[in-house]
Structures are given as C-alpha cells and as structure tokens.
C-alpha cells in the first residue's frame, strides 16, 4: 500500500492545499484507521480557512514546536482499515459513521455525557487539533466510543449528516432550548445546522417554526422541511416580523445558527419573557448582550459544542425515514474535485448549495 494519500490541508488564513500527506497510523491501542468513502465541508471548515481559528497552529507549535498544516474535516463515513489492540466493537471491513466528537467514555466529563469536553484528549479535535476526514484515510481516536456502524438500509448522504450537523442542531439548539409542544420558535440561519434544528425540533411539536435567513433558496427549502413562516432580514425587519407572527410576544426559543453579531441581535430581541436563546453558531468576534433591557425577562441563555450523545437515537430516526436529511445534499463532487467543492460551498448563495457531498 502507498505511504501517502491526498488530503485537503490548512496552513493558515486563506491558505488550504490539496496535496500528498502521509497515511495515518495507529498511535494508541484505542485508535482505528478509516478509509473514507464520503465526506463533506462544514461551515466551520470555511471559518478555519478564513483564519477564524488561529489556535490550531498555535496549539500545534506549543505541543511539537513545529507547524506542518492540519487536514480539515470532521464529518463522513468510511470503511475500517485497521484497529488498535484495545478496539473491541469494530473490525477491519466494517462500514462506519465517523463522529465529529471523539470521547474516551471514562473521564469526569464523559461520565456526565459532556463528550465535547473529554478530558483525555477527546472532544472536537478532528480537523481541528488532529488531522481530519477530508483525506483518503483518517485516524479516529477512542474508536469504540466514536464510531457508529452504518446500517445497510441508511442512505449514505444522510449518514454524513449524522457526523455533526444533525446532532449539533438537535442537542445545542432544540434540547438546550427546551423546545416543548405548542412552543413558538425561531431559527436564525438556514444552513445545514439550522436545517438540523428545523427537522429535529419537529420531534417536540412546536406550533410555530420561524426560519430567518437572507438566502431565499434556503428559505424555500425550509418551508418544504416544515417551517411555518420564513423571514428574510434583507427585505424586512426580522425582529418586527417575528413579533408580528407571535402576536407581539416573541418566541419561546430563539436559536442562533450563524455566529455573527447581526443574527445574535435578532435572537436576543425576539424572545419572550421566560424564553430561551440557544446559541449554536460559532462566533469569531464579540457580540453585544443587551442586559440593560433583558435582565428583567427571566431568560435562559445557553451555549455549547455538540456532545453527540443523541447520535444513536437520530441514526434510528433517519433509518426509518423520519428525517429527510438527504434532500439537503444539493451537490456531489468526486474527492479529486474537492477544491471546486470548496468554491461552490463558499459561494452558496449563488450556487444554491446547502451541503456538498464528496465521494471517493
């Protein structure tokens, strides 16, 4: 077998390269090596590309004294190529879903299901603190706890969403936002994670689901996926429209799924007394919190990084076709075309891209 593979590697702000890299090897007995068959590009990958996460390079230099780039990506499916001596649940040839979160399963935080904050070197590390899935092979730490067997009956495009977008929307927006039957909710941002919020919120039977985005194509898809109302802030005052829809009260839960000050402002000013603001967007700059107006409203503000503790349940829901996630896979590329895929996803409003799937 060749000792090198193709991979998409980040070297610094606005510097990513499709290049040859060494094939990963087992570093710990709990590792597995996966030969990727499908991956995708997350909005977080675009943020890294633009220099939003300089800590990637800083941490690497601190640990090793050098910087050799970071293979991007934290989503995908593949086939087990090799397992470490301590891996018991998987074997060579198994088809698997790679979770974006790696977890030891035994540390203090993992015992609380705070897998995103695993204290034994896990958490969201793939494509961030260790090399990721936008490569022909990937090393998965803590394989027994961080992989899921891929059912033969599950659509493989849908399976890719189970790595990150779907559990992120469900856990950090819907669950943390305490969505209940009859609630009015607003989802600000209709990207893949926002759509994950939209789909999984319907498990809990909210009465009103308002989706806010500046892309009419995405708003049209949101209506098809179950939104009762859509709002385009480039055409109308989003807060005023949300208040109008809710009879002047505001929503029980406002979900911020973008990560910029403007979308945060919509959320904080459109939630009713006693409501929730659930932030799932990755923010790269400070936002203003209008505490002088909101202190009196008995609000709950939550933030978080996906723990992937509901991935198994969501997998079963997708398997029995409760969630039409595959409709979000709007574009498909071969792995050799990944640079083109990045360009399409970067210009999603013009290309009408929701999620690009990269096939090997």
Question: What DSSP line would sit under 225-264, residue for residue?
Answer: HT-SEEE-TTTS-HHHHHHHHTTTS-EEEEEE-S-SHHHH
In sequence order, which residues have a C-beta less than 8 Å from that of residue 273 and are 6 or more positions away?
Answer: 250, 297, 298, 299
Q: Which fold has domain 4-164+308-359?
A: Quinone Oxidoreductase; Chain A, domain 1 (3.90.180)
CA distance 47 to 345: 12
Query: What is the pLDDT at residue 1?
Result: 60
Query: What is the pLDDT at residue 357?
Result: 97
Is 99's pLDDT higher than 90?
Answer: yes
Residue 177's pLDDT band, with cuts at 50, 70 and 90, is very high
Q: Which is the CATH superfamily of the domain at 166-302?
A: NAD(P)-binding Rossmann-like Domain (3.40.50.720)
Cβ burial of 202 (10 Å; 0-12, 13-18, 19+) is middle
Distances (CA, A) of 220 to 216, 244, 345: 6, 20, 18
- Nearest to residue 278, comparing CAs of 296, 263, 257? 257
Domain residue ranges of the chain, discontinuous segments joined by +:
4-164+308-359, 166-302
Query: What is the pLDDT at residue 24?
Result: 98
State what percent of residues in the chain have pLDDT above 90. Answer: 94
CA distance 154 to 143: 21
Is 324's pLDDT higher than 90?
Answer: no
Query: What is the pLDDT at residue 327?
Result: 86
What is the pLDDT averaged over residues 181-190? 98
pLDDT digits (tens, 9 = 90+) for 239-266: 999 999 999 999 999 999 999 999 999 9
Is 198's pLDDT higher than 70?
Answer: yes
pLDDT digits (tens, 9 = 90+) for 222-237: 999 999 999 999 999 9
CA distance 240 to 243: 5
pLDDT digits (tens, 9 = 90+) for 101-139: 999 999 999 999 999 999 999 999 999 999 999 999 999
pTM of the model as a whole: 0.94
What is the pLDDT averaged over residues 36-64? 94
CA distance 55 to 29: 28
Query: What is the pLDDT at residue 171?
Result: 98
DSSP 105: S
Is 323's pLDDT higher than 80?
Answer: no
What is the pLDDT averaged over residues 8-17? 97
Residue 49's pLDDT band, with cuts at 50, 70 and 90, is very high
Question: What is the rounded average pLDDT for all residues in the chain?
Answer: 96
């Amino acid at each position: 077998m060749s000792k090198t593979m193709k991979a998409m590697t980040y070297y610094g702000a606005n510097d990513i390269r499709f290049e040859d890299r060494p094939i990963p090897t087992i570093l710990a007995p709990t590792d597995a090596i996966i030969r990727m068959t499908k991956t995708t590009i997350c909005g977080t990958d675009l943020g890294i590309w633009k220099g939003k996460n300089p800590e990637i390079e800083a941490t690497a230099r601190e640990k090793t004294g050098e910087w050799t780039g970071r293979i991007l990506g934290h989503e995908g499916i593949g086939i087990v190529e090799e397992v470490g001596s301590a891996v018991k649940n998987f074997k060579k040839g198994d088809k698997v879903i790679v979770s974006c979160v790696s977890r030891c399963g035994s540390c203090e935080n993992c015992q609380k299901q705070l897998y995103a904050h695993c204290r034994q070197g896990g958490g969201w590390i793939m494509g961030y603190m260790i090399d990721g899935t936008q490569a022909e092979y990937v090393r998965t730490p803590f394989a027994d706890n961080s992989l899921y067997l891929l059912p033969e009956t599950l659509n493989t495009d849908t399976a890719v969403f189970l790595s990150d977008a779907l559990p992120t929307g469900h856990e950090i927006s819907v669950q943390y936002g305490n969505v209940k039957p009859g609630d009015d909710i607003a989802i600000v941002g209709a990207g893949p994670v926002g759509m994950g919020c939209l789909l999984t919120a319907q498990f809990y039977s909210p009465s009103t689901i308002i989706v806010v985005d500046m892309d009419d194509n995405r708003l049209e898809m949101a209506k098809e996926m179950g939104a009762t109302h859509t709002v385009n802030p480039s055409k109308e005052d989003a807060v005023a429209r949300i208040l109008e829809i809710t009879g002047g009260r505001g929503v029980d839960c406002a979900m911020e799924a973008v990560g910029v000050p403007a979308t945060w402002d919509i959320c904080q000013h459109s939630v009713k007394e006693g409501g929730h603001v659930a932030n799932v967007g990755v923010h790269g700059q400070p936002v203003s919190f209008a505490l002088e107006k909101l202190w009196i409203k008995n609000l709950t503000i939550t933030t978080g990084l996906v723990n992937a503790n509901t991935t198994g349940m969501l997998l079963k829901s997708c398997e029995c076709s409760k969630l039409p996630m595959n409709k979000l896979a709007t574009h498909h590329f071969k792995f050799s075309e990944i640079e083109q895929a990045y360009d399409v996803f970067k210009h999603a409003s013009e290309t009408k891209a929701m999620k690009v799937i990269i096939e090997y």
